[in-house]
Chains A and B, each alone.
Chain A
Amino acid sequence: MVLRFQDLFLALLRFWADRGCVIQMPYDVEKGAGTMNPETFLRVLGPDPYAVAYVEPSRRPADGRYGENPNRVQKHHQLQVVLKPSPADIQLTYLQSLERIGIRLIEHDVRFEEDNWESPTLGAWGVGWQVLLDGLEITQFTYFQQAGGLDLDPCSVEITYGLERIGMFLNNADSCFDLEWSPSTSYRAIRMRDEVEFSRYNFEVADPALHFKWFSDFEQEASRLIELGLVLPAYDYCLKCSHVFNVLDARGAVSVSERARLIQRVRVLACQIAAGYLKSPAQISTPLQVPN
C-alpha cells in the first residue's frame, strides 16, 4: 500500500476534524516543535475547553544533514493534536487514527513506552510515552502538567505524530526523501534544496554576532510588549529568540554555560507571557466552545 505524504496528513486531519477538532494552520514564525504554536502553548492555559489539530513544519537546525541522512532533516513535519480536557478514551481514539491511515494494529508490535516531555525554554513539562510501532517511534503522547511555569487545570493531552516516520513506515521506505508527496511530486523534489541550503546556512554561514544581537533585540522587544500587555506579539518575539538560539547552537557558537543562560532567558519570557495571557481580558471574553 502506498500512502502519499499529503494523503497521510489529510486523512489524519479529517479524522480529528470528525472528532470535533478545530483544524488550524501552521503558525507563521519559525519554531522547533508544534507545541510552540500558540494554539498549543497558550490554549492549554486557563480553564476553557479546546480541541485543535494542525500540521506544524518544525525547524531543528542542529538536526540538518545536508539532505544526506535518510532520517534526519532540519525541518520535519509534526501533526499536532491537542485536546483540553483530556478525554478518558484518548488512547483508543489515537489507535483508531492509526487504523484510519491503514495501519492494521493486530499485525504489529504496538507499545507505549515511557517518555516524559520537557521544554526548558517554555517552562513546560508533561508525562507520557513515545508510541513505538515495530520499534519505530511514530508519536509523542503527552499529558501536559505545566506550561509557562503554571500548573494546568484542566490538563490537556497532546498527540504529536511524526509524519515523515509514519510515511516511511507505511511505504516501507528507507529514506524520507523517497516518499511521494503527491501523485506527481516527491518529497525529495519539494524538500531537498531546503535541506541542503539550510544545513549550510545553519552550520557554516549564519553570522553568530548578528544572531547574538538579534537574540538580545528580540528579547528586549518581547519584554517591552509584555509590559504593554501585548501578549501575543510578545510571544512572537519569544519564539524568535528560541529559533535564533537554535541556530547559534547548531552553529556551535554557544558554550555550555552560555547555553544554560540563554535557555533561561527565553524561559523567563515564556513564563511572563503565560501569566500575561491568563490576565488578558480578551481571552476571558471569548470563551472557546468545546465541540461534542
Chain B
Amino acid sequence: MLLEFIIEVGCEEIPARYIDSTLLQLHENLVKKLQEHSLGHGVIHSYATPRRLVLVAPALEDQQVDRSELVTGPPQSAAFDAANNPTPAARGFAAKHGLAVDQLKCVQTAKGLYLGFEKRIPGKRALELLSQELPRLLGSISFPKSMRWEPTRFSFVRPIRWILCRLGDEVVPFTIAGVNADRFSYGHRVLSANSRIEVTSFESYRNQLLNHKVRFDAKDRLETIQSALTTEAAKAGARLIPDPKLLSLVVNLNEFPSVVCGTFSPDFLRLPKEVLVTVMREHQKYFSLVDARDSLVPRFLAVVDSDGTHAEQIRAGHERVLKARLADAGFFWDLDRKVKLEHRTERLDRVVFQQKLGTMLEKTQRLVTLTGFLGKRLQVTSLDEVKQAAHLCKADLITDMVKEFTDLQGVMGGLYARAEGLPDSVSDAIYEHYRPQTLEDASPETLAGAILSVADKLDSVVGAFAIGQVPTGSKDPLALRRQTLGLIKVLLDKKISISLEKIFLKSFALFKKKATRAQAETWQDVASFLKDRLRFIFKEQAFHYDEINAVVEICFDNPYDCLERLRAIASIRGSADFEAVAQGFKRIRNILLKFGLQVSAELQPIDVTLFESEEEGELAAAVQAVQPKVRKAARARDYARAFELMASLRPTIDLFFDKVLVMAEDPKIRANRLNLLRGLLQTFLNIADVSEIVPASKGA
C-alpha cells in the first residue's frame, strides 16, 4: 500500500545562506536511506522557510517487499553418513533454524554442494524504518557552523523546536534533541501568533499554513516578491536595478513576504550612486531604483516579513533606519575627502598585505614598478598616469567608507581620486582595478585599469607562491584561483599579448629577499597553476577539450595568442581536409615515437637523391613551398590562414601514405623519410599540436 509521508522540522531561524544546501542534503539523504532499505518512494518534494525544513513523499510504500536469503549449513558430504542418515551437524543446523532435516535442500555454491534453505525475510514496516533512520538522518546533516543548545548535545544549525512527522494516519515516533515527533505544525510567529495546527495530510498542511501566513515553498515566495517588486517599481515610475544575489537571499529571510517602497531625502543623492546602492544592499538588503536615464531615484524597495496590513508604519521604520545609515555614509564621504589619497598611501606602512610579504605600502611600491614595466611593453602613452594610479590604488583601504563597506575597495579610491581632480585615466584605473571579481564580471574598460588589475593580481599570486603559500584542495585563503582567473580574463578581454613568464620574472624579482623559494621552482608551480586556470577559462568558453589540448601546452605563456589559435582551430576543425591532415599528423607522431624520435629535434637536410618515388618528392616540395607562407601567417597571427595551408596539404600527404612505405629497409632511406615527416610536423606544431584533435566521427 502507498502512504503519504510528510516531515517538517521546525527550527529557530536558519541562516538564509544555509537553507538551500541544508534542504538538499536532507532530500538526498532521505532518498539514499529509502533506497538502502529498498523502500519504494516515488517522487519526494522539499520545501523550506527560515523556520522549517519540509519533505513530502506522496506515495511511499508502507512496507518493504518480503525477500528471501539463502542460508547454508554443513557441506553435503558432512551432512549425511554412509547410511544416508543426517549427521549431528545436519540435524544441528536444521534445529537451529527450527526446521526438520527433510525441509533442507542441497544447494550448489562456489565451494561445492551444501545443505541449506531459502529463508524468508518479511519486509519491515516503513513506519519502523523511518523512526529508526530519521534521527540519524537529521544528525548527519553538515553545516559550515553548527551549535548545541540542549542536554543531549545534539548538533544542528539552530535549535529544533518541533517536529511534524506523519506516515499515512500515523505519527512516525522518534525523538531528537529532546523533541518528540508529533502531528502539529505552527503558523507564522508574529502574523499568526500561538497557532498550533493539526496536520492530517499534505493537503491540510498546504491549506492551513497559507491561512496561518506561511508561504512554505520558496518558489511561491520568490514569485510573490518578484511580482511585488515589479509592481512597486512601476508605481514609483522607476526601474528596479536587478540584483539576483540579493533576491535569492531575501527569499529565505521571511515566511510571508511583502514589499514596501520607501523614500529617502533627495539631499543624499549628492553621494555617489555606488555608495547609495551599497549602503542599501549591504546594510539593509534593499533594492535600488533608477529612472529612465539610469540615475538613482530617492527611493528603495524593502522585502519585509509582513502581510501588508501595516505597511505604512513598517515603511516609516525602514526609512528612519536608512536615513541614519545614509547620514553615516555621508559623514564618511565628507570626512574621507579631507585627506588626500597621496597622504593615505604613506600610511599604508601600517596595513599588512600578507605577514611574510610585508605591508600594503611595499605592495604599492611593487605595483608602481610593475605597471611601469607592463605599460612600456604595451606602449601606453600616459605611462606616468598609470604609475600614479598604482601609487594611489590601495590608499582607500584606510578610508572610513571602505572600512565600513569592503566591497567598495577600488571603487571608493576611484571616486575620491576624481573628487580630488586627478586625471580621469588615474581615477578610472583605480576604480576598475579589482575587476573582474568573477568570470561573469566585466574586465576594466581602460587600458590603464587593465594594466593595474593585472599587476595587482600578478603581485598577489607570485608573492604567495614565492613564499610557498600555494592553494591546495579547498584551501585558498588569498583567493589566488579567483585572482589568476581574473588576471587571465583581463589579458583575453583586452587582447593583451604578453609573455606570462616575462612578467612573472619581473614580479618575482621585486620580492627580493622576501621570497623563500627559488625563482625556477616558483615559476614551475606558477606556470602549472596558470595553465590549469587557462584550461578552465577555455572550457567555460565552450571550447572542446581536444582543441584546448592542442594549444595550451604550446602557447599558454601568451594567453591571448593561445585564444586566437584556439578560435582558428575551432572554426576550421569542421573541414574534412583539416581533420584528415590532423589524423595524418597523429599517425606521423606515432611513427616517430616508435623510432624514439623527438618531433622538435634538429632537422637534417633532406637528401632528394634518396627519394624513391614521385610522392616523396612532391611532399618535400609542398612542405618547402608552404613553409615560408606558414611562417608569415604565424607571424601575422593569421592562424586561420596557417591552418588552411595545412589543410591544403591533404592530397599530397594522402598520396604519400598511399604510395610510400616509411619503414624502408634501407636505414638511410628510412631516416631521410622520417626527416621529411618531422619537417612537415615542425612546420605546424609550434602553432598548435593538431595531432590532439579528435575526429568528429569519434566525437569531440
Give chain A's interface residues, CB within 8 Å of chain B.
Answer: 69-72, 85-86, 88, 91-92, 95, 105-114, 116, 126-127, 129, 133-136, 143, 145, 153-155, 157, 169, 172, 174, 255-257
Q: A143-B149, A256-B350, A256-B352 known; A112 and B12 CB under 8 Å? A: yes
- Report Cα–Cα, A155/B178, bound state, in Å: 15
Complex contact A85–B321 (CB within 8 A) = no
Cβ-defined contact, A108 with B310, below 8 A? yes
Q: Closest CB of chain B to A195's CB: distance in Å? A: 16
**Which residues of chain A have C-beta atoms less than 8 A from B306's C-beta?**
108-109
Quick check: A108 and B324 within 8 Å, CB to CB?
no
Against A, the Cβ 8 Å flags (1 = close, 0 = not) of B10-23 are: 00110111000000
Are A85 and B305 in contact, with the CB atoms below 8 A? no
User: Is B626 in contact with chain A by the CB < 8 A criterion?
Assistant: no
The dominant DSSP class at the A interface is: mixed
Residue in contact with B351 in the complex, picked from A69, A174, A256, CB distance below 8 Å = A256
Binds A, one of B311-319, B490-498, B588-596: B311-319
Inter-chain contact A69/B331, CB cutoff 8 Å: yes
CB neighbours of A85 from chain B (8 A): 150-151
B308-362 residues at the A interface, CB under 8 angstroms = 310, 313-314, 316-318, 320-324, 327-328, 331, 350-352, 355
**B residues in contact with A172, CB < 8 Å:** 316, 320
Contact with A along B645-675 (1 / 0, CB 8 A): 0000000000000000000000000000000
Q: Is B145 interfacial (CB 8 A cutoff)?
A: yes
**What is the total of A-B residue contacts with beta carbons within 8 Å?**
113
Listed A/B pairs (6) with beta-carbon separation below 8 Å: A71-B324, A105-B190, A108-B190, A109-B305, A114-B16, A134-B313
Are B351 and A107 in contact (CB-based, < 8 A)? no
A134 in contact with B327 (CB, 8 Å): no
Cα separation A113 to B355 with both chains bound (whole Å): 34
From 12 to 37 in chain B, residues with beta carbon under 8 angstroms from any chain A beta carbon are: 12-13, 15-17
Say yes or no: is B302 at the interface (Cβ < 8 Å to chain A).
Answer: yes
* A116 vs B310: C-alpha distance when bound (angstroms): 30
Nearest residue (CB) in B for A70 is B324
B147 proximal to A (CB < 8 A): yes
Considering residues A72, A105, A114, A134, which has the most beta carbons from chain B within 10 angstroms of its beta carbon? A134
Q: Is B254 in contact with A145, judged by CB distance below 8 angstroms? A: no
Q: What chain A residues lie within 8 Å of B318 (beta carbons)?
A: 109, 134-135
Q: Are B254 and A169 in contact (CB under 8 A)?
A: no
* CB of B158 within 8 Å of the partner chain: yes
Interface: B635 (CB within 8 A): no
Report chain A residues within 8 Å CB of B181: none
Q: Is the pair A135, B253 in contact by a Cβ cutoff of 8 Å? A: no
Q: Is the CB of B17 within 8 A of A114?
A: yes
A-B pairs with lowest CB-CB distance, top 4? A134-B317, A114-B15, A109-B304, A112-B13
Whether the Cβ atoms of A145 and B148 lie closer than 8 Å is yes
Q: Are A135 and B322 in contact (CB under 8 A)?
A: yes
Report whether B352 and A134 are in contact in the complex, using a CB–CB cutoff of 8 Å: no
B-to-A contact residues, CB < 8 Å: 12-13, 15-17, 50, 145, 147-151, 153, 158-159, 161, 178, 189-191, 193, 253-254, 284, 302, 304-306, 310, 313-314, 316-318, 320-324, 327-328, 331, 350-352, 355
CB-based contact B323/A108 at 8 Å: no
Given contact pairs A71-B324, A134-B316, a sample of 10 additional A-B residue pairs in the complex whose CB atoms are under 8 Å apart: A106-B310, A108-B306, A108-B310, A109-B318, A110-B189, A112-B13, A113-B15, A129-B13, A135-B322, A143-B149
Closest to A142 in B: B147
Asked if A109 contacts B12 (CB within 8 A), the reply is no
Give the chain B neighbours of A136 by CB distance below 8 A: 317, 320-321
Q: Enumerate chain A residues within 8 angstroms of B254, measured Cβ to Cβ.
A: 111
Which of B149, B158, B190, B355 is within 8 Å of A155, CB to CB? B149
Residues in B neighbouring A153, C-beta threshold 8 A: 148, 153
Q: How far is the CA of A257 from the CA of B355 in the complex (A)?
A: 8
Tell me which of A72, A88, A134, A257 contacts B314 (CB under 8 A): A134
B158 touches A127 (CB 8 A): yes
Across the interface, name the chain B residue whose C-beta is closest to A109.
Answer: B304
Partner pick for A86 among B16, B149, B328, CB 8 A cutoff = B149
Contact A135 B352 (CB under 8 A): no
Docked pose: A42 CA to B204 CA in angstroms: 49
Determine if B317 and A95 form an interchain contact, defined as CB atoms under 8 angstroms apart: no
CA distance A144 to B320 in the complex (A): 32
Q: A135-B284, A153-B153 are in contact. Are A109 and B314 (CB under 8 A)?
A: yes
Once the chains bind, are A154 and B321 in contact (CB under 8 Å)?
no
CA distance A86 to B178 in the complex (A): 13
CB distance from A96 to the nearest CB of B (A): 10
Task: Report Cα–Cα, A153/B149, bound state, in Å.
Answer: 9
> Closest residue of chain A to B15, judged by CB?
A114
Least CB distance, A235 to chain B, in whole angstroms: 25
* A126 to B145 CA separation, bound complex (whole angstroms): 10
The answer on a CB contact under 8 Å between A174 and B323 is yes
Contacts of B13 in A (CB 8 A): 111-114, 129
Which B residue sits closest to A125, measured CB to CB?
Answer: B145
Chain A residues within an 8 Å CB radius of B327: 69-71
Q: Which of A105, A114, A143, A157 gathers the greatest number of chain B CB atoms within 10 Å?
A: A114
Q: How far is the CA of A155 from the CA of B355 in the complex (A)?
A: 36
Question: B residues within 8 A CB of A154?
Answer: 150-151
